[in-house]
Amino acid sequence: MRKISSLFAGAAALFLSTPVLADNHDPMALQAKGLEDTVAYAITEGLTTEIGPRQAGTEAEARARDWSVKKLKALGFQNVRNEPFMMTTWVRGAETAEILSPYPQKMHITALGNSASTDNGGIEAEVAYFDSLAAMRAAPDGSLTGKIAFVTHDMHRTQDGSSYGTYGPARFIGPNIASQKGAAAYVIKSIGTDYHRNPHTGNTNFREGVTPIPAGALSLPDADNLERMIKLAGKTGTPVRMKVMMTPQNIGQQESGNVIAEVTGTDPSKGMILIACHLDSWDLATGAFDDAAGCGIITAAAKNVMDHGQPLRTIRILWAGAEEVGLWGGKAYAEKNKNQNHAIAMESDFGADKVWRVEYKFPEAAKDVRTEISQALSPLGISISGPPASGGADIRDIIASNNLAIIDLQQDGTRYFDLHHTPDDTLDKIDPAQLRQNVAAWSTVLSIIANSDADFTMPPKE
């Protein structure tokens, strides 16, 4: 009760110290409305139920774009449209793994995006074990010829998701390194933190001139079991032999697209606010956390602002296509819209759990706006400590090309990598109360920046 009372006391103090504004300019009114929101959950439910998995470049992603355009129009947004682009498309095939000797048993594996195919016969080979990516990198060139390289790790849960940056390279660049050293195939302990037999997929890339090899992720329990086998067999000098079969294929250039909608502002000369999520998902699940919830959050907040009156600045909603497989949508958006007048960019793509921290990359001229936002977010339990904002994957290119100001509303990522890119990323994992807290936070920020005439122009890059 003391914690709840203190929150109400903080909110009351904020109301007393802040000038009373018209309802459409009052961030606290929109914050309260956000805490009662139903739009974000409805969007998340609709995408995961009516569409389901939405892998980029596929017919399912095309259906998702059609659904999205209809939904955004029905919600009352302006200038709703699809901006198509073409992309190279990889699709999953059959995938199995098993230990042949000395401890025969089946394992759970999934192919990484851009993996090569083993063909239907699979690959049988000795496993070369490495306890880290660095250890494999240090292996002599040619030492992995004809072997299946296996890299494990010790990723752990963190609120800010920082462990992904530490251990993710085993997926991002590991297959490329293994290929350069002669490996016939590559497997990793999934880049995740759950202990279900659900392998985590995700994209990998091979540099130009490097031959793609089959690359897959084992579920965490299976990877740990394989590590135990290798250590036990090593005591007698017995190699562990494994068979992997993965048959993905590249189906060439296919159409994807960005779905865009707007809340038009009263002053077109003011730089617009770009808010983003990504529409596509991996094919293993319905993509509730990653990233249907993000689309629900930003759209519900923009609608909240729109319903409270026309803002000064235009708010542009970007539901980016083809994020998971190479950030195609963000790149296409930046190329097509780089000459338009953007002011600030924001993104929601880290699940649906509560916002706990706000980060900024603002010019000195907008420091008062930063203070106003921080004070207004305080009743939601959101702190202002942290590094400068850096933006999300789908806004990275437009930020770089236009040198934009950024606000990051950081979500609690403690359980995010339990679900990320797994078959478990489904609607039942969404906590409606935490989802509404996100909408309240986003509504608060959007109401302030969309109605601010502050100069958000960033100083030139050094």
Question: Do 51 and 34 share a domain, yes or no?
Answer: yes
Q: Identify whether the C-beta of residue 289 lies closer than 8 Å to the C-beta of residue 161.
A: no
Kindly write down the DSSP assignment for every residue of 237-267, as one continuous string: TPPPEEEEEE--EEEEEEEEEEEEEEE--S-
Paired with 320 in beta bridges are 278
Q: Do the bridges between strand 342-347 and strand 272-278 make them parallel or antiparallel, or are there none, so unpaired?
A: parallel
Closest C-alpha to 277, from 42, 39, 37, 44: 44
Residue 19 pLDDT: 36
d(CA 309, CA 313): 12
Same domain, 240 and 347: no
Residue 460 belongs to a domain: no
How far is the C-alpha of 294 from the C-alpha of 196, rounded, in Å?
25
pTM value? 0.93
Q: Is 98 left (phi over 0), alpha (psi -120 to 50) or beta?
A: beta
What dihedral do alpha carbons 36, 42, 45, 46 form, nearest 10°?
-170
27 found inside a domain: yes
Q: What is the pLDDT of residue 13?
A: 36
Domain total of the chain: 2
Tell me, yes or no, whether 309 and 343 share the same domain. Answer: yes
Considering the domain architecture, whether residues 298 and 377 belong to the same structural domain is answered as yes
For position 17, what pLDDT does the model report? 36
Q: What pLDDT is recorded for position 462?
A: 72
Domain boundary at 193, 217, 247, which? 247
pLDDT at 24: 56
CATH of the domain at 140: 3.50.30.30
Q: At 407, phi and psi to the nearest 5?
A: -125, 130
Which residue among 228, 247, 266 closes a domain? 247
For every one of its 462 residues, what pLDDT tens digit does the chain have, with 9 covering 90 and above? Answer: 333 333 333 333 333 333 333 445 799 999 999 999 999 999 999 999 999 999 999 999 999 999 999 999 999 999 999 999 999 999 999 999 999 999 999 999 999 999 999 999 999 999 999 999 999 999 999 999 999 999 999 999 999 999 999 999 999 999 999 999 999 999 999 999 999 999 999 999 999 999 999 999 999 999 999 999 999 999 999 999 999 999 999 999 999 999 999 999 999 999 999 999 999 999 999 999 999 999 999 999 999 999 999 999 999 999 999 999 999 999 999 999 999 999 999 999 999 999 999 999 999 999 999 999 999 999 999 998 789 999 999 999 999 999 999 999 999 999 999 999 999 999 999 999 999 999 999 999 999 999 999 999 999 987
The tokens for 216 are 């897959």
From the list 382, 367, 379, 345, the residue with the least C-alpha distance to 28 is 379
Structural domain of 8: 2-90+252-450
Distance (Å, whole) CA 265 – CA 270: 9
**d(C-alpha 40, C-alpha 53), whole Å:** 18
* 148-151 and 123-130 strand pairing: parallel
Q: How far is it, in rounded angstroms, from Cα 289 to Cα 418?
A: 11
Backbone angles phi, psi at 9, to 5 degrees: -65, -40
Domain shared by 191 and 316, yes or no: no
Asked if residue 274 and residue 218 are part of one domain, the reply reads no
Q: Is residue 457 part of a domain?
A: no
Q: Give the three-class secondary structure for 31.
A: helix
Give the CATH number, domain containing residue 396. 3.40.630.10
Residue 327 sits in the same domain as residue 378: yes
Give the pairing of strands 405-411 and 355-361. antiparallel
Same structural domain, 114 and 69: no
- If asked whether residues 395 and 290 sit together in one domain, one would say yes
Residue pair 47/64 in contact by the 8 Å Cβ criterion: yes
Q: Which of 214, 247, 280 is the last residue of a domain?
A: 247
Residues 192 and 277 in one domain: no
> Domain for residue 459, yes or no?
no
Q: Does one domain contain both 363 and 338?
A: yes
Does any domain span residue 458? no
